[in-house]
């Protein structure tokens, strides 16, 4: 199991409902991440389409074209790629993230658990029903997507199963950006895990997005962070330090699930 992980977060100005244009951007960003020595590159939520509320015509099977495209990038640059796409599903599509290994093979798929009802996402997408663990160089990892950040329970579920790093692709708007930064730190601190939140930049027909992507360690300290500009945020996670902290201060052992079984 690796003791460190260099992460590159892609603060992308997503082209609205234009998968080909966004995959062309992805090729450039993946090459930049490889030159920066990253082991994993992470794209924001719905990076192939933008946060569209008309997903049906853009939905595709997974595995499918997006899997193949991100897999080619992973194989070409010999790194892990965490991409995102609209997954075809009945009765509605799903908001999905996919993990490709350095050999281009599909490692895991995660479907956003909590559609954003405030923005009527639930009328166009169906929520997922699983929080899979997967390994990057032996490091146990998990995924959440955007609005999932407001729900501590899935993060805790991942933590008690051993997840050390959780990646969170998002389209988090400017008007709620302070909640983004606070919640990223809270999820890291309360679970003694590294949290990597990647947010898009620019505008779409619905909102303005300020970036502010961040890589946080298990203490909630910011390892690397972005501003409002398109580009990469690159940082190194010290997993040996994370494991030592968990061993020295095993806070999760003091949980009392018998007192809150409804959770």
Q: What is the pLDDT of residues 189-203, one digit of tens each?
A: 999 999 999 999 999
Q: What is the mean pLDDT of the chain?
A: 97
pLDDT at 163 over 90: yes
Q: Which helix (H) or strand (E) holds 178?
A: helix 177-191
pLDDT per position as a tens digit, 38-81: 999 999 999 999 999 999 999 999 999 999 999 999 999 999 99
pLDDT at 254 over 90: yes
Q: Is 261 among the domain residues?
A: no
Q: Is 260 among the domain residues?
A: no
Catalytic (active site) residue 146: yes
- Domain total for the chain? 1
pLDDT at 263 over 80: no
Q: What is the pLDDT of residue 94?
A: 98
Catalytic (active site) residue 131: no
Catalytic (active site) residue 45: yes
Q: What is the pLDDT of residue 142?
A: 98
pTM (2 d.p.): 0.98
- Residue 192, domain extent: 4-254
Share of the chain above pLDDT 90, in %: 98
pLDDT at 119 over 90: yes
**Which of the residues 17, 25, 45, 131 is marked catalytic?**
45
End-to-end CA, the chain: 31
How much of the chain is in helix, strand and coil states, percent to nearest 5?
Answer: 35, 30, 40
Packing angle between helix 152-160 and helix 177-191, nearest 10 degrees? 30
Q: What is the CATH number of the domain that holds 250?
A: 3.60.110.10
pLDDT per position as a tens digit, 200-222: 999 999 899 999 999 999 999 99
Band of residue 262 on the pLDDT scale cut at 50, 70, 90: confident
Q: How far is residue 40's CA from residue 30's CA, in Å, rounded to a whole number?
A: 9
pLDDT per position as a tens digit, 218-246: 999 999 999 999 999 999 999 999 999 99
For the chain, strand residue ranges (E) read 4-11, 40-42, 80-87, 94-100, 106-111, 134-136, 139-143, 165-170, 194-199, 201-203, 208-210, 214-216, 222-225, 231-238
Q: Is 263 among the domain residues?
A: no
Q: What is the pLDDT of residue 261?
A: 87
Q: Is 259 among the domain residues?
A: no
**Which of the residues 131, 141, 146, 196 is marked catalytic?**
146
Q: What is the pLDDT of residue 257?
A: 92
Q: How far is residue 40's CA from residue 182's CA, in Å, rounded to a whole number?
A: 24
**Which of the residues 17, 25, 87, 112 is marked catalytic?**
112
């Amino acid at each position: 199991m690796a003791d460190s992980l260099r992460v590159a977060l892609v603060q992308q100005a997503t082209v609205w409902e234009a998968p080909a244009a966004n995959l062309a951007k992805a090729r450039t960003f993946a090459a930049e991440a490889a030159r920066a020595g990253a082991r994993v590159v992470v794209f924001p939520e719905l990076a192939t389409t933008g946060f569209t509320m008309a997903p049906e015509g853009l939905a595709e099977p997974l595995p499918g074209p997006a899997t193949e495209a991100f897999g080619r990038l992973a194989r070409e640059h010999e790194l892990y790629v965490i991409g995102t796409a609209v997954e075809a599903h009945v009765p509605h599509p799903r908001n999905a993230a996919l993990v490709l290994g350095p050999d281009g093979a599909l490692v895991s798929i995660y479907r956003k658990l909590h559609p954003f009802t405030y923005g009527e996402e639930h009328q166009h997408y169906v929520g997922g029903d699983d929080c899979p663990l997967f390994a990057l160089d032996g490091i146990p990892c998990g995924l959440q997507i955007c609005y999932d950040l407001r729900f501590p329970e899935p993060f805790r579920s991942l933590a008690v199963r051993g997840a050390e790093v959780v990646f969170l692709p998002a389209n988090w708007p400017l008007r709620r950006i302070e909640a983004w930064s606070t919640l990223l730190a809270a999820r890291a601190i309360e679970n003694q895990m590294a949290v990597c939140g990647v947010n898009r930049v620019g505008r779409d027909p619905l909102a303005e997005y300020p970036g502010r992507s961040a890589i946080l360690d298990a203490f909630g300290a910011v390892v690397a962070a972005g501003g409002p500009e398109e580009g990469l945020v690159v940082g190194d996670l010290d997993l040996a330090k994370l494991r030592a902290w968990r061993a020295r201060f095993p806070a999760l052992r003091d949980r009392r699930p018998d007192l809150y079984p409804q959770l």
